[in-house]
Amino acid sequence: MVVTGMLETLLRSSFPDASELAVEDRTGGGDHFQVTVTSGRFDGLSLVEQHRLVYEALSEPLADGSIHELRIKTRGNA
Amino acid sequence: MSGLSEQIKEIIENEPVSVFMKGTPQLVMCGNSDRALRALRAAGAPVTAVDVLPDPQIRQELSALSGWPTIPQVFIKGELIGGADIVEELYASGELQAKLDAALGTEREPSEKTAEVAATA
């Protein structure tokens, strides 16, 4: 649960306006995650650009191997 | 033979649809690579698959080129379409088929082949 909480904190600071923000540990192993974010920051962006913002927010745990697998679901407010 | 980065770039730019994945279409080694491949098949894409597992450098060079940190990565005519989540989402909404139609025409034949890249010694 340590990593789950850390991912939530990182996402919250990158998407302070998020109306929906969830991190699910898909396997219970603490390294396969599903993140769901609904934020106005995604408005008007392509899915590639939206996911890039999530990757940026989570660049540290992605780089250091804390995240083995990441599934992303993003939505804008518009 | 040109460097690894150039070989990867050549595939991305010259193949109609390329997917950099873990394993091969015959032996997929990762659930996300499988999801991307299934969506491409369902959309009738001519797929050129590159296995990133033989050498960790392949993934490093690929991510340096694309700015995308995870595998799989799908490209249509040089444009990064995304990873498994995006490709599945675009397939479900019909946008993947529309992108393929626009880039390759509606008469395209679904197919599968593999390409290999290797670091020069």
Q: Domains in chain B, please, with CATH?
A: 4-115 (3.40.30.10)
| Residue range of the domain that includes A12 | 2-75
Do B80 and A52 count as a contact with CB atoms less than 8 A apart?
A: no
ipTM, 2 dp: 0.89
Rounded to an integer, what distance in angstroms lies between the CA atom of residue B41 and that of residue B56?
A: 26
Q: Which sign, positive or negative, has the C-alpha torsion A45, B50, A62, B87?
A: positive
The label of the residue with tokens 């995308």 reads B68
Token pair for A50:
């939206």
pLDDT computed for residue B1 by the predictor: 55
The minimal CB distance from B69 to the residues A48, A62, A71 is found for A62
Rounded to an integer, what distance in angstroms lies between the CA atom of residue A24 and that of residue A32?
A: 8
CATH code, domain carrying A49: 3.30.300.90
Task: Return the residue of B nearest to A49 by Cα.
Answer: B82
Q: Cis (ω within 30 of 0) for the bond into B56? A: no
B100-107 contact pairs (CB < 8 A, 24+): B100/B17, B100/B43, B100/B44, B100/B45, B100/B76, B103/B16, B103/B76, B103/B77, B104/B16, B104/B17, B104/B46, B104/B76, B104/B77
The answer to whether B85 faces chain A, any CB pair under 8 Å, is: yes
The minimal CB distance from B86 to the residues A48, A59, A70 is found for A48
- Mean residue pLDDT across chain B: 95
> Each residue of A17-52: pLDDT tens digit?
999 999 999 999 998 999 999 999 999 999 999 999
Closest CA to A50 of A65, A62, A36: A36
Residues forming beta bridges with residue A53, ordered by sequence position: none
The minimal CB distance from A51 to the residues B31, B32, B82 is found for B82
Nearest-CA distance A21 → chain B (Å): 17
| Stated pTM of the model | 0.93
Q: How confident is the model at residue B29 (pLDDT cuts 50, 70, 90)?
A: very high
CB contact residues (below 8 A), chain B span 92-121, against chain A: none
pLDDT computed for residue A35 by the predictor: 97
Closest CA to B76 of B27, B17, B22, B20: B17
How many independent structural domains does chain A possess? 1
